[in-house]
């Protein structure tokens, strides 16, 4: 059946200006890491994308290595874009990234011009689009001069492969340097994608100030702390969870102290009339420096629950003070200064 988007899709979703650019993102964006590969039925993926767009989520976030396996998410999303969303391309924000390992050899990861441009071309082919709206360098590369990396992003924009460019998981100092280089080249970085949650607050130590001063927006990934900030772990570790399978998280991340934090935050969420996941997402959006929260979804029901976070985005000072007592660093920032030296 031909997909017709809901006529009221823009009525309830807030849209926020991304830094000082003309780019506006929905408060909630949909990402496809670990949940849009060969491990999901195509019709489930199609239903999630349709429902997201019907609710005003017009930003779909990918990367070259999303799947599983690598590249599968872009291939799957590309097919659904062609079949269902061709008429809506100008309403969509499609983003992709490169930086992590994608293929063998010294040019299969990092921040070199060769890798970034080749990877962008491959992403465009898998997605079946002429350009992406945002292209990111996915993580810092200590072995490539920053000038080369930013110059490659500049070329990607000037060649028409992307409309905007950004960075991910860069420290405040590296963000400042990258932004200066990009502005000198005439293709400013407009967005930074860091991990951020109530259990991972590193961006508050300088990064939000740096992005604001340089006219950049922030899209926060992993606002649910890899699922810890949901009801899943309130009573132990489910057999089908990421912790049980050591997928990105491992059992050490759920110690007694963290469990107590999660339970206390869950109580506050219920007092607000929200699930823990909804409050966690809303909390990341409490300050204007964060433009959008990036969520994943394995079902339409999960997607709807998370999008419903927009129904209660305002916090009282008392609520924020209570949350701060439990929203503390918990050793789950898996991407802190993420590097993979070619010379290691």
The whole-number pLDDT of residue 243 equals 54
Report the CATH number that the domain containing residue 78 is assigned in CATH.
3.20.20.100
3-state secondary structure of 303: helix
Concatenated DSSP letters for 89-123?
Answer: GGG-EEEEEE-S--SSSTTSSSS-HHHHHHHHHHH
- Distance between CA atoms of 18 and 216, rounded to whole angstroms? 7
Residue whose tokens read 């239903």: 47
Instruction: Indicate the SS3 state at residue 298.
Output: coil
- Structure-token match 């010379």, residue found: 343
Angle at 68 between CA 67 and CA 70, to 5 degrees: 65
| pLDDT recorded at residue 330 | 77
Please list the pLDDT of the chain residue by residue as tens digits (344 residues): 799 999 999 999 999 999 999 999 999 999 999 888 888 999 999 999 999 999 999 999 999 999 999 999 999 999 999 999 999 999 999 999 999 999 999 999 999 999 999 999 999 999 999 999 999 999 999 999 999 999 999 999 999 999 999 999 999 999 999 999 999 999 999 999 999 999 999 999 999 999 999 999 999 999 999 889 998 877 666 555 555 455 656 556 678 899 999 999 999 999 999 999 999 999 999 999 999 999 999 999 999 999 999 999 999 999 999 999 999 997 878 777 455 455 44
Which tokens belong to 341? 């030296």
pLDDT at position 186 is 98
**Number of domains within the chain:** 1
Q: Note whether residue 73 is domain-resident.
A: yes
Asked if residue 204 belongs to a domain, the reply is: no
What pLDDT was estimated at residue 343?
45
- 282 belongs to a structural domain: no
Is residue 9 assigned to a domain? no
> Residue 331's pLDDT is what?
81
**pLDDT (0 to 100) of residue 299:** 95
Q: Checking DSSP bridges between strand 162-168 and strand 189-193, what pairing results, if any?
A: parallel
The answer to whether residue 325 is domain-embedded is: no
Is residue 131, in this structure, part of any structural domain at all?
A: yes
Q: How many CA atoms lie within 13 A of 83 on its CB side?
A: 14
For residues 85 and 3, the answer to whether their CB atoms sit within 8 Å is yes
pLDDT for 344 equals: 44
- The length of the chain in residues reads 344
pTM here? Answer: 0.93
Q: What range defines the domain where residue 166 resides?
A: 23-193
Determine, yes or no, domain membership for 255: no
On whether residue 93 sits in a domain, the answer given is yes
């Amino acid at each position: 059946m031909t997909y017709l988007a809901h006529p009221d899709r823009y009525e309830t979703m807030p849209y926020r200006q991304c830094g000082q650019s003309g780019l506006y993102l929905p408060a909630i964006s949909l990402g496809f890491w670990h949940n849009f590969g060969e491990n999901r039925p195509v019709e489930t993926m199609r239903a999630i994308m349709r429902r997201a767009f019907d609710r005003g989520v017009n930003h779909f976030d990918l990367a070259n290595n999303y799947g599983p396996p690598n590249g599968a998410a872009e291939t799957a999303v590309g097919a659904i874009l062609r079949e269902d969303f061709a008429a809506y391309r100008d309403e969509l924000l499609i983003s992709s990234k490169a930086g992590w390992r994608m293929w063998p050899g010294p040019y299969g990861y990092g921040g070199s011009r060769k890798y970034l441009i080749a990877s962008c071309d491959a992403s465009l082919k898998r997605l079946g689009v002429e350009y992406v709206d945002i292209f990111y360098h996915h993580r810092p590369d200590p072995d490539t001069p920053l000038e080369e990396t930013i110059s490659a992003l500049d070329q990607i924009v000037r060649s028409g492969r992307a409309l905007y460019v950004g960075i991910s998981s860069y420290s405040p100092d590296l963000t400042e340097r990258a932004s200066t280089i990009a502005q000198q080249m005439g293709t400013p970085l407009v967005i930074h994608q860091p991990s951020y949650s109530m259990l991972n607050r590193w961006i508050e130590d300088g990064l939000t100030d740096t992005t604001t001063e340089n006219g950049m927006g922030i899209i926060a990934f992993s606002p649910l702390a890899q699922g810890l900030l949901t009801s899943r772990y309130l009573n132990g570790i489910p057999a089908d969870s990421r912790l049980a399978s050591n997928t990105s998280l491992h059992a050490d991340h759920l110690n007694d102290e963290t469990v107590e934090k999660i339970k206390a935050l869950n109580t506050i969420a219920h007092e607000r009339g929200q699930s823990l996941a909804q409050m966690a997402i809303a909390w990341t959006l409490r300050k204007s420096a964060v433009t959008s929260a990036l969520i994943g979804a394995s079902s339409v029901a999960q997607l709807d629950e998370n999008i419903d976070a927009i129904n209660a985005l305002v916090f009282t000072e008392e609520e924020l003070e209570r949350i701060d007592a439990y929203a503390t660093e918990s050793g789950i920032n898996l991407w802190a200064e993420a590097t993979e030296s070619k010379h290691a």
